[in-house]
Amino acid sequence: MPKTFLTERDVDDLKARGITSIDLTENIVMTDLAVERAFKHGIKINRAEQMSPPKATFSPSVNLVAAFPREASHQPTADAELAQKVKSAVVARLDHQVDEKLLDAVIARVLAGMK
Print burial letters for 69-99: b (CB count within 10 Å at least 16), e (below 16). eeeeeeeeeebeeebeeebeeeeeeeeeeee
The whole-model pTM stands at 0.42
Model pLDDT, residue 112: 84
Helix, strand, coil tally for the chain in percent (to 5): 50, 10, 40
Model pLDDT, residue 103: 87
> Is the CB of residue 14 less than 8 Å from the CB of residue 43?
yes
- Going by the DSSP 8-state scheme, the letter that residue 41 receives in this structure is H
Domain locations in the chain? Answer: 4-47, 64-113
Model pLDDT, residue 39: 93
Model pLDDT, residue 56: 62
pLDDT per residue rounded down to tens, the chain (115 residues): 788 999 999 999 999 999 999 988 888 889 999 999 999 999 999 887 655 555 666 566 656 566 556 555 556 677 888 889 999 998 888 888 888 888 888 888 888 887 6
